[in-house]
Amino acid sequence: MGVVWGRAFLLQGEAALPYLTTRECQLGGYISTITTVYPQPGVDTKPFPALLYLATPNNRHWLGEAPLHEIACQIMESRGPSGHNVEYLLRLASFMKEQVPEAMDDHLFTLEIMVRPL
């Protein structure tokens, strides 16, 4: 079993969950599942359940296991309603470096180098 780093959000308002479910599941092709979130060591919070949207091989956008250059090309060529995928990747890499510096995600940081504009 591996580790996935991220951030959990507490939804506010009755419209938030239906909106996210439509965006992520119906439009994005993700499945939803409940997982346990384990806070970073040293944080005074107990593990808690959270809703997770997850891509699977059944997702029409699923590239699957692929060489890094193919993944980088897909990222550089893809754009969604919220913006270009390169911007999403660069923001994710920046977040990880700033908020979770102990997470050495070679896969993410190699993709960051491959797609970063000169």
pLDDT of residue 72: 96
pLDDT of residue 95: 94
Phi, psi of 94 (to 5 degrees): -65, -45
Structure token digits, residue 54: 């997850």
**Is the pTM for the entire model greater than 0.85?**
no
Helix (H) or strand (E) holding 99: helix 85-99
Given the residues 14, 24, 77, 112, select the one marked as catalytic: 24
Concerning whether 24 is annotated as a catalytic residue, the answer is: yes
